[in-house]
Structure 1
Amino acid sequence: MSAATEFALGLMVQRTPVPLRLSDYRLICFDMDSTLINIECVDEIADATGKKAEVAAITEATMRGEIADFKESLRQRVALLKGVTEADMAGVRSERLQLSPGAQALVQACKQAGLKVLLVSGGFTYFAEHVRGLLDIDFVRANVLEMKDGVLTGAMVDQPWGDICDGAEKRRTMLEVASLLGIAPAQCIAVGDGSNDLPMMAASGLSVAFHAKPRVRAEAQIAINQGGLDRLLEVLR
């Protein structure tokens, strides 16, 4: 691996020629939590039960790659959400969730250049579908929290594609959507911040780390360490 070079302040580029053309790509795939949006939703939901610190510590260790089994990590965290109400969830969505700086500008530029947009998240559909509406995203895959009588049970609901959207499922989803679009993986951009994003980033034509964990920054072709998501447009002309 060659050392990264600073393309501009807070914008690192390695192992790829620049500038690149946005029109060379046909699909851009985003992680959600701490990438397209400013929060880790599972941590904020846990605040309603007084367990935010406990859940956040597991999330941080998982995103850094210190906990390798994402599925078990997520099950542990979701179990701690038992008793959270739908009203609590709505409060997180309305009061804490914000789009990351530059998210709207980057998505709009991609759409104008003819790219489709995929949100693929180890988080939850409750928030992912909200973000889909805000950004007019084409495809979404995320996990479903089980709720009974307006209260979280501490479990998740299996879906037709599988049980939990982990790193392997993120990669598979990106490749599945690419296949449906009739494009090669080399025509995909993958943007993320945590270790569970690395499988799809490795399979993509261009991997982008956004305010990411050290391992992810080291393995990505482009690392945005300062500023918003739209800084990718400084490299992709």
Structure 2
Amino acid sequence: MTTARFLVVLDADSTLLQDEVIELIADEAGRRAEVQAATEAAMRGEVDFAMSLRSRVRALTGVPLGALDHVRSRVRATAGVGELTAAVHERGGVVGVVSGGFHEVLDEIAPALGVDRWRANRLAVTAGGALAGEVDGDIVDAEAKASTLLAWADELGVPATRTIAIGDGANDLRMMAVAGLGLAFNAKPAVRQRADLVIGAVDLAQVIPLLP
């Protein structure tokens, strides 16, 4: 069994990445404004995340798979992510990402940023090679994020007290609560209020002094 000294788990959109990937995909369908408003409401905790995600994914119906190459080229990593993942690895830690976003983007971007393991939603695809407007499989929601952090910690032999969760939205709060240290990063007010610590600058290198 692989072991680690500690585990750092980040949200993806607006945490590991500067962008909300679903909004970039919605650009390809000409529906960004509609999807962006729904995303912001979900991140503030005003609506159920799973219900909101299904609604937003429906707005992506018909986007050709080829358009995701353009989306991936537009995704921007958050400042300091390379420094943070390198520092975690130097100290014997593991970096995970658990996201309400999509494997179709993270599978390419996460390893390039030094992420060791990741979990996200998958988009259903039609026989014609376009997005079907549905999530394929169970939705990664707040409870899934929390359970994934704990499962990874268990697999790695890391006690929960030596885990760090970093997120920005309401669906990160459960994950932050079960972690040894919950960090609000680029976060909505409700998340800042309930986090153990708030990272002020939008720079993930600011987390390095907090590593075990």
For the superposition of Structure 1 and Structure 2, which TM-score range results when normalised by the shorter chain?
over 0.9
**C-alpha separation in 2, matches of 1:124 and 1:227:** 22
**C-alpha separation in 2, matches of 1:235 and 1:133:** 23
Give the corresponding residue for 1:219.
Answer: 194
Local SS of the residue matching 1:65: coil
- Aligned counterpart in structure 1 of residue 154 of structure 2, from 179, 185, 193: 179
Q: 1:236 to 1:181 in 2, by over 3 A?
A: closer
Give the corresponding residue for 1:210.
Answer: 185
**Aligned counterparts, 1:35-114, within 5 A:** 35-67=15-47, 69-94=48-73, 96-114=74-92
Local SS of the residue matching 1:209: strand
Local SS of the residue matching 1:207: strand
Q: Which amino acid aligns with 1:137?
A: V
Q: Under a length normalisation based on structure 2, what TM-score does the superposition of the two structures give?
A: 0.94
User: What is the alpha-carbon root mean square deviation over aligned residues?
Assistant: 1.4
Q: CA deviation at 1:131?
A: 2.2
Question: 1:117-176 CA deviation, whole Å, 9 max, x = no partner?
Answer: 111000000111122221232211100001123210001211xxxx10000000000011
**Aligned counterparts, 1:143-222, within 5 A:** 143-148=121-126, 149-158=128-137, 163-222=138-197
**C-alpha separation in 2, matches of 1:45 and 1:206:** 32
Give the corresponding residue for 1:21.
Answer: none
Runs of 5+ consecutive residues of structure 2 not aligned to the other structure: none
Runs of 5+ consecutive residues of structure 1 not aligned to the other structure: 1-23
**Aligned counterparts, 1:98-137, within 5 A:** 98-137=76-115
Local SS of the residue matching 2:184: strand
Q: 1:227 to 1:142 in 2, by over 3 A?
A: closer
Q: CA deviation at 1:183?
A: 1.9
Local SS of the residue matching 1:119: strand
**C-alpha separation in 2, matches of 1:137 and 1:226:** 21
Q: Under a length normalisation based on structure 1, what TM-score does the superposition of the two structures give?
A: 0.84
Q: CA deviation at 1:233?
A: 2.0
Q: Which amino acid aligns with 1:188?
A: T
Q: Which amino acid aligns with 1:103?
A: V
Local SS of the residue matching 1:59: helix
